[in-house]
Structure 1
């Protein structure tokens, strides 16, 4: 499967990115994949290749390109209890500096680049994201309702922007919450807010993944759950396939 390291022009410079797509000599629906705060690394590349294998062109940008190319910080092969404090002491300032304004500037650049690729078919795209990347995915879908047909967010702080965010989204939505992040009561409150999508006729699902903690999709961390990752694929692919016409 072809993979590329690319440079995406943005108003603030060049964002390095990873792309994976099937080697069929055809055009494929585009998916913008936002990584978690730990950025582009082997596990993210593996997930992009897995998704690309289902018939998609998958573009993964370096969220923190303003601070340097990926990897912006040095990461161990496995992020466990001993290394987590050091890693997150470096990551959190990067997340804090990535303001909503910067995120929207970048989203416009990423979508423009994705849809201009010769390997990407015409039509709408999908956006998916993990942790902070899930919030960025939702912001992208809200800001570009004319270009985004479906959006998914996993173990993500999707409530951070309040109900106004959900009111702007017209794409089909799936939210996969970690059991360690979301109590049933909190899920009920979130789903009450999500009912604004019912009024707009927007399809959505929002559920807690049993037995999972924050970061469950990432196999290079102690949070990893094999069943949680599989459930993620079982929800993501049926969301993307019909909305992007990849049946």
Structure 2
């Protein structure tokens, strides 16, 4: 499908959130995917990933995940300074801010004439965690989490009972969890912990571990694995095709 892209600035309780919308250019009604970036916000690789999904028939919304902490339009570089700034923003933003961000996007997309009523979520790195967080919203029917960081830690600020893994009962949709075995951000023990908690909660999920490093989906840098990326996209599109 040919696609179109535009920007909407959504009001949230914590300020204006720029959101990039990529969707099919033709007439019709389409499912929406809330798509969450790495700590660097909408970089070139994230925009290309969003446009790739849009080309398969989805309206893809990419929010600026740290909109409260940066000027509108901020994109961090894939370097030490960008990583340090992104990690500082991650440590500064309260987890409830992501919940209100999700509500703002869901309410906006529900008002659009091209929306077909079905919502999914996806994301890479911290975006994988934020996609998981979006799955707490009752409207989200399917979620693809790629190497989701900090599900097994308390790094993202949250009050007791508000950590994402403490609210598994709120997840009603299907999950796709994709990991790299050589990912030094998410050790084996952390993956085992997450798997066991999802299993104990009786959630509907599929689980895939590949011989890949952190960010193996990112089509920039030496950790990119095109073959694994193709498999990852295929799995996500299968999930969304079956549910949305």
TM-score by length of 1: 0.86
CA distance in 2, matches of 1:163, 1:20: 30
- In the TM superposition, structure 1's runs of 4+ consecutive aligned residues that sit over 4 Å from their partners are 182-186
* Correspondence 1:207 to 2:208: yes
- Is contact 2:152–2:193 with CA below 8 Å preserved after alignment? no
What is the SS of the residue equivalent to 1:213?
Answer: coil
CA distance in 1, matches of 2:230, 2:90: 27
Gap runs ≥5 in structure 2: 154-162
Q: Counterpart of 1:25? A: 27
* Correspondence 1:190 to 2:194: yes
Q: Counterpart of 2:157? A: none
Q: Counterpart of 2:119? A: 125
- 1:32: how far off? 0.6
Stretch moving more, 87-96 or 168-177: 87-96
Gap runs ≥5 in structure 1: none
* Correspondence 1:136 to 2:137: no
Q: Counterpart of 2:236? A: 236
For residues 92-107 of structure 1, the aligned pairs below 5 Å read 92-107=87-102
* Correspondence 1:68 to 2:62: no
- Is contact 2:132–2:164 with CA below 8 Å preserved after alignment? no
- 1:185: how far off? 5.5
1:82-136 superposed Cα distances (whole Å, 9 cap, x missing partner): xx322212211111122112111111112111222222112x3001111111111
What is the SS of the residue equivalent to 2:60?
Answer: strand
- 1:183: how far off? 5.4
CA distance in 2, matches of 1:221, 1:111: 33
CA distance in 1, matches of 2:112, 2:148: 28
Structure 1 105/185 Cα, relative in aligned 2: closer, same or farther at 3 Å? closer
Q: Counterpart of 2:152? A: 159
CA distance in 1, matches of 2:25, 2:107: 22
Structure 1 179/22 Cα, relative in aligned 2: closer, same or farther at 3 Å? same
CA distance in 1, matches of 2:237, 2:215: 19
Higher normalized strand content (fraction of residues) = 2
1:11-60 superposed Cα distances (whole Å, 9 cap, x missing partner): 22221111111112111011110111111122111111110111111110
TM-score by length of 2: 0.87
CA distance in 2, matches of 1:187, 1:14: 34
Count how many residue pairs are aligned between Structure 1 and Structure 2: 229
- Is contact 2:146–2:179 with CA below 8 Å preserved after alignment? yes
- 1:184: how far off? 5.3
- Is contact 2:141–2:243 with CA below 8 Å preserved after alignment? yes
What is the SS of the residue equivalent to 2:114?
Answer: coil
- 1:179: how far off? 1.3
- 1:207: how far off? 2.0
- 1:68: how far off? 1.2
Q: Counterpart of 2:108? A: 113
What is the SS of the residue equivalent to 2:167?
Answer: helix
- Is contact 1:197–1:204 with CA below 8 Å preserved after alignment? no
